[in-house]
């Protein structure tokens, strides 16, 4: 299987080699990285056409000759290098290759001048290799190693230059590392009970408490990576401080792909869920949707706003996969790929805006639609897609998930009885998403333009092109959802299923597109010059800067509403942040222990004596 070498090890080795070269030749490094990513994408396309199989890859003989000392001692490790090429992993690998390619093109222009991240390209390539490795491997140990290294590259792709960004980097690696540690527990339990690390051999019922613990441990890992409640808190901080290309690459696309991939693996292949676990997953799913979107509504910083949405959308995927029905799983996976598309598109557009204006807050921006038309159109399409407006892809996948929930309600069970709640909250979340994206689009691209933003120009083709491609795919995936995308990409993974609702995406999509085109035509035919443009009317007063209200102000009402303001206050004090809570607990306990260390020597001698006597007593009693 040559493809696997090219997909996993080529970027890895290239990344390690590139990191040895000095930073001065950054452009060359970028171009080499682009070529490598292109090759990887090509081979992941090729892999997509390979039929399903499990292969044992000879990892080391490729590098060391047969019979040499190194070959001999490394040979035994080959039993761990089992790779599973099934429809799911092929699909995810292809998506990883695609996003890698698009984002590296964007990075070429974005990274080289503005944000100096050391070794950006090497870590980019290493991330690419390990992501593909984590998806394709069939061995849990190899998986956790790859998975863990991805946390490290995530940490290296953000730069800690001030208090806030350093804290974000720290928080990110602590949460990711913690979840990896917890996953090891789950893997250990599986190994203890089943004696194997091979994922494809496992089929675990969640009937015994210990197996439930194993499931929850692995679930923690995938939730943290994908960013679902309650382990999501690193994402908004990370996206706020990291360069937009890093945010688009990891938290928005690759981490989602990986996290949801693993969630799909454990929920559908490795474990059979009992009804309480289903209930738990659905509950966490809707909580993710609602909490994150509520937080997104009140954000001023647009990258942080996108970060909260990167969390909120995960809720839909968790909902879909939690249902466990083919319809639900298909919806979840389809939403995952859609999310990766529109969210990375949104981050790229945010990056373009930030690069051109250097501003990070919505209330400092506005009216950029004329200056940056391509970025505006792409951002608009992505924003409509994430809000679930038909015929875009976000609607298509949410629609499948809604159908899945309704279908799910027909079965008996605790979680099933509550289907109307899941459905209602999911739809509500979608509406709130639209509300907050009105803020995003209006705040940046529409409204009054500030004086200092006059000279802003569109970004270079290397930056708008990837963004436009992604926006175009958002339309394509939406319009072709029921005719091409779902049957060709998703159905091979989940098996055949029937919709319970009717939605012929192509017909309706074409109808909508035609009507939009007609609208544009009418707009163009009717002479534009005839339109009169006026300043905002404010009671006859002359418009002045200080009287202008930014779009952010409109959302203050939510913040001030009594019940919500109470919750928001708590949230701002970080009472819902699992990281902050654990930090407080840990430091509290640490302070207590430190108080016991007075530095008085006699006191320490007493400890020793106490320890000695206790041991004598215990040992005498025991024997």
Partner 1 sequence: MSTLVTLFVILPLATAFLIPVIGRVINGFQRTITALIFLFLSILSVYILINVNPHIYTYKIGGWEPVNGIPIAIYFVLDGLSTFMLVVINLIGAFAALYSIPYIKRFTAENNYYALLCLMVGGMNGVVLTGDLFNLYVFLEIAVIASYALVAFGVEREELEASFKYQILGGIASILILFGIGMLYWNTKSLNIADVSDILKNTENNKAYLVFTQVFLITGFGLKAALFPFHAWLPDAHSSAPAPVSTMLSGVLIKVVGIYSITRLFFNMFEISVEVSTIIIVLGVISMVFGVFLAVGQWDIKRLLAYHSNSQMGYVIIGLGMGMLILANNGSKPVAALSIFGGLFHLINHAVFKGLLFLNAGAIEFKTGTRNLKEMGGLSESMPLTYSTSLGASLAISGIPPFNGFFSKLIIILAAIKGHFYLLAFLAVLVSIITLASFMKFQKFSFFNKANLSPGRKINEVPFFMCFSMVALAILCLGLSLLIFPGVREIIIDPAVDVLMNTGSYFSAIME
Residues in contact with partner 1 by CB under 8 A are 72-77, 141, 144-145, 148-149, 151-152, 160-163, 165-167, 169-170, 173-174, 177-178, 180-182, 184-185, 187-189, 191-192, 583, 586-587, 589-591, 593-594, 597, 599, 601, 604-605, 607-608, 610-612, 615-616, 618-620, 622-623
In the complex, minimum distance from the CB of residue 613 to partner 1, in angstroms, rounded to a whole number:
9
Only one residue has tokens 């093109």, namely 105
Compare residues 174 and 571 and give the one whose CB is closer to partner 1: 174
In the complex, minimum distance from the CB of residue 84 to partner 1, in angstroms, rounded to a whole number:
20
Compare residues 224 and 430 and give the one whose CB is closer to partner 1: 224
Compare residues 181 and 492 and give the one whose CB is closer to partner 1: 181
- Close Cβ partners of 558 (under 8 Å, ≥ 6 residues apart): 297, 298, 564
Compare residues 561 and 604 and give the one whose CB is closer to partner 1: 604
H runs (alpha helix) in 324-368: 326-357
Compare residues 151 and 478 and give the one whose CB is closer to partner 1: 151
CA quadruple 570, 565, 313, 357: dihedral positive or negative?
negative
Compare residues 39 and 173 and give the one whose CB is closer to partner 1: 173
Q: How far is CA 341 from CA 158, 287, 394, in A?
A: 21, 23, 10
In the complex, minimum distance from the CB of residue 176 to partner 1, in angstroms, rounded to a whole number:
9
Compare residues 103 and 214 and give the one whose CB is closer to partner 1: 214
In the complex, minimum distance from the CB of residue 229 to partner 1, in angstroms, rounded to a whole number:
19
User: Rounded distance, CA 69 to CA 362, Å?
Assistant: 61
Compare residues 525 and 608 and give the one whose CB is closer to partner 1: 608
Residue 81 DSSP SS3? coil
295 neighbors 350 (Cβ within 8 angstroms): no
In the complex, minimum distance from the CB of residue 135 to partner 1, in angstroms, rounded to a whole number:
17
Compare residues 524 and 596 and give the one whose CB is closer to partner 1: 596
In the complex, minimum distance from the CB of residue 271 to partner 1, in angstroms, rounded to a whole number:
18
Q: DSSP string covering 572-609, please? A: HTTTT-HHHHHHHHHHHHHHHHHHH----HHHHHHHHH
555 neighbors 568 (Cβ within 8 angstroms): no
Compare residues 73 and 520 and give the one whose CB is closer to partner 1: 73
Q: DSSP string covering 124-148, please? A: HHHHHHHHHHHHHB-BHHHHHHHHH
Residue 301 DSSP SS3? strand
In the complex, minimum distance from the CB of residue 119 to partner 1, in angstroms, rounded to a whole number:
10
In the complex, minimum distance from the CB of residue 104 to partner 1, in angstroms, rounded to a whole number:
23
In the complex, minimum distance from the CB of residue 123 to partner 1, in angstroms, rounded to a whole number:
13
231 neighbors 175 (Cβ within 8 angstroms): yes
Compare residues 511 and 605 and give the one whose CB is closer to partner 1: 605
User: Considering just the CA atoms, what is the radius of gyration of the chain in Å?
Assistant: 26
User: Rounded distance, CA 284 to CA 278, Å?
Assistant: 10
User: CA dihedral in degrees (165, 170, 176, 179; nearest 10)?
Assistant: -140
User: Rounded distance, CA 448 to CA 311, Å?
Assistant: 30
Q: How far is CA 421 from CA 244, 285, 305, in A?
A: 35, 12, 26
In the complex, minimum distance from the CB of residue 137 to partner 1, in angstroms, rounded to a whole number:
13
Tokens describing residue 596: 């016991």
Burial 377-402 (b: 16+ CB within 10 A, else e): bbbbbbbbbbbbbbbbbbbbbbbbbb
DSSP assignment letter at 537? P
In the complex, minimum distance from the CB of residue 128 to partner 1, in angstroms, rounded to a whole number:
16
């Amino acid at each position: 299987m040559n493809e696997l070498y090219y997909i996993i090890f080529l970027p890895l080795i290239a990344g390690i080699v590139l990191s040895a070269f000095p930073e001065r030749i950054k452009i060359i490094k970028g171009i080499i990285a682009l070529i490598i990513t292109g090759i990887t994408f090509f081979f992941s396309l090729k892999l997509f056409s390979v039929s399903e199989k499990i292969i044992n890859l000879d990892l080391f003989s490729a590098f060391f000759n047969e019979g040499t000392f190194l070959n001999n001692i490394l040979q035994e490790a080959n039993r761990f290098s089992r790779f599973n090429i099934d429809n799911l992993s092929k699909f995810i690998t292809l998506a990883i290759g695609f996003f890698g390619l698009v984002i590296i093109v964007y990075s070429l222009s974005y990274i080289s001048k503005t944000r100096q991240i050391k070794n950006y390209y090497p870590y980019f390539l290493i991330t690419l290799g390990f992501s593909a490795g984590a998806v394709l491997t069939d061995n849990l140990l190899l998986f956790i190693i790859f998975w863990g290294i991805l946390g490290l590259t995530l940490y290296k792709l953000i730069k800690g230059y001030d208090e806030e960004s350093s804290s974000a980097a720290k928080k990110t690696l602590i949460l990711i590392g913690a979840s990896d540690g917890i996953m090891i527990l789950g893997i250990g339990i599986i190994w203890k009970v089943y004696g194997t690390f091979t994922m494809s051999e496992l089929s675990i019922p969640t009937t015994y408490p210990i197996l439930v613990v194993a499931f929850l441990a692995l679930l923690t890992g995938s939730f943290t990576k994908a960013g679902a409640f309650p382990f999501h808190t690193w994402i908004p901080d990370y996206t706020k401080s990291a360069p937009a290309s890093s945010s688009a690459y990891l938290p928005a696309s690759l981490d989602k792909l990986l996290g949801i991939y693993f969630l799909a693996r454990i929920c559908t292949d490795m474990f059979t869920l009992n009804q309480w676990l289903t209930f738990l997953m659905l509950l966490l799913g809707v909580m993710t949707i609602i909490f994150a979107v509520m937080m997104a509504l009140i954000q001023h910083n647009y990258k942080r706003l996108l970060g909260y949405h990167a969390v909120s959308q995960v809720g839909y995927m968790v909902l879909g996969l939690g249902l466990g029905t083919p319809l639900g799983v298909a919806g979840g996976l389809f939403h995952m790929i859609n999310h990766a598309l529109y969210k990375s598109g949104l981050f790229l557009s945010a990056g373009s805006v930030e690069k051109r204006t250097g501003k990070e807050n919505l209330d400092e921006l506005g009216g950029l639609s004329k200056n940056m038309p391509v970025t505006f159109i792409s951002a608009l399409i992505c924003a409509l897609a994430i809000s679930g407006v038909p015929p875009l892809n976000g609607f298509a996948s949410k629609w499948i998930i809604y159908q899945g929930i309704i279908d799910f309600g027909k079965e008996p069970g605790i979680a099933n009885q509550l289907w109307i709640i899941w459905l209602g909250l999911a739809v509500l979340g979608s509406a709130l998403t639209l509300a907050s994206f009105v803020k995003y689009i209006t705040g940046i691209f529409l409204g009054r333009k500030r004086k200092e933003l006059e000279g802003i120009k569109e970004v270079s083709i290397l930056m708008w092109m990837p963004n436009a491609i992604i926006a175009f795919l958002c339309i394509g995936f939406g319009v072709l959802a029921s005719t091409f995308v779902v049957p060709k990409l998703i159905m091979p993974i989940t098996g055949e299923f029937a919709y319970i609702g009717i939605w012929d995406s192509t017909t309706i999509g074409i109808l909508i597109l035609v009507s939009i085109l007609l609208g544009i035509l009418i707009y163009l035919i009717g002479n534009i010059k005839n339109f009169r443009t006026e300043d905002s009317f404010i009671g006859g007063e002359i418009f002045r800067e200080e009287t202008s209200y930014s779009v952010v102000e409109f959302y203050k009402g939510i913040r001030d509403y009594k019940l919500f303001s109470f919750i928001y206050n708590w949230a701002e004090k970080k009472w819902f942040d699992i990281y902050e809570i654990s930090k407080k607990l840990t430091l509290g306990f640490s302070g207590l222990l430190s108080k016991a260390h007075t530095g008085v020597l006699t006191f320490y001698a007493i400890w020793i004596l106490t320890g000695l006597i206790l041991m004598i007593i215990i040992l005498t009693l025991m024997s």
